[in-house]
Amino acid sequence: MTLDTAFTTTEEHELLRESVRALAAERIAPRAAETDATGEFPWEVYKDLVASDMHAIHIPEAYGGAGADAVATAIVIEEVARACGSSSLIPAVNKLGTVPLILSGSPELQERYLRPCAEGTAMFSYGLSEPEAGSDAAAMRTRAVRDGDSYVLNGVKRWITNAGVSKYYTVMAVTDPDAGARGISAFVVEDGDPGFSVGALEQKLGIKGSPTRELYFDNCRIPADRIIGAEGTGFKTALATLDHTRITIAAQALGIAQGALDHATSYVKERQQFGKPVAEFQGVQFMLADMAMKLTSARQLTYAAAAKSERAMAGNREDDLTFYSSAAKCAASDAAMDITTDAVQLLGGYGYTRDFPVERMMRDAKITQIYEGTNQVQRVVMARELLK
């Protein structure tokens, strides 16, 4: 394994960053606190992202998308997350839900579902986890039984991001219960399919503007042509998808951390204690230096992983993509938790109140260590890759 993480963004990447940052400052940041307080999905932000073609910027041009590379997609997610963690899950989850189609879907299926997502008329979610199959996703129990020209699905999916607002769902289900992971297949389920419903909102610590619900399949009948790839290839597609989309969670973590560092830096330069700005105290400077060091390191790793993801999508062999995507997600989310916690500390009592955004950022950062594979699981994945 070659551990080469050097990466430099292009001029186009930085111009994109400026554009997203301006949109986030004007349209997203002013709504972030209200989104967190109400727990309502930020539909106005979604409209703004659609108008700017940033809601699903990764979708190929052939299907009406912007065709942005993986680094550009990470930058969009990062800059939106810098203003609002909940809103950053719009481009992130659209990518999560559609990458299985991009990797394994037939041209007909891609045309049918990627184009509406690119146009902003539909969002995608991803159904892998279950009540008894989280980290051990291969233990899923949701079944899909072939019945003529249809599949009939029965089961439950849990922790589904943007469930209830998405129109389409990529769902993994067991088609051959005797084949283990090789008996899992992937399907597209549509909102409104008979026998499909969503559960109540989960009451969460953070990212409250992004709904999380269960998915229920009660003799849910879907056309057989909605299978993604061949029967039995679903789990392989799921793992390949996560190799690409863990990087989006790393990007979300970077944005949350950057937002917290920006607020903390601004605050300590203005806050006076003992007759001088708090920023002049060496202890505070050391904290800021450590925060920036962790963030910069995680960003380099994340962008390097994104570049590998892009090359893999283009058909190049990237044997260490799994390691890099897990390392980026783990490093960025751990850094985000550290940085946001230190930001609260630097603001003192104010940091603990909702008058400042850092307490929200700390709550939002926590989930990045958990979803798309806990950081404990990421360390298992990295170790396995090293020991191959």
Question: CA dist 149 to 20, 111, 169, 226, Å?
Answer: 45, 21, 20, 10
Closest Cα partner for 221 from 191, 184, 196? 196
- In this structure, what are the phi and psi dihedrals at residue 379, rounded to the nearest 5 degrees? -70, -35
Instruction: Tell me, yes or no, if 372 is annotated catalytic.
Output: yes
Round to whole Å and give the CA distance between 158 and 171: 11
Query: Helices (DSSP H) in the chain: which residue ranges?
Result: 11-23, 29-38, 43-51, 70-83, 85-104, 107-119, 234-270, 282-313, 321-346, 358-368, 375-387
Tokens 């944005």 identify what position? 255
Given 78, 310, 359, 372, which residue is catalytic? 372
Per the structure block, which two tokens stand in for 38?
Answer: 């109400």
Cα separation, 128 vs 159, in Å, equals 9
Read off the DSSP letter of residue 279: G
Single-letter residue type at 283: G
Known catalytic residues?
Answer: 372
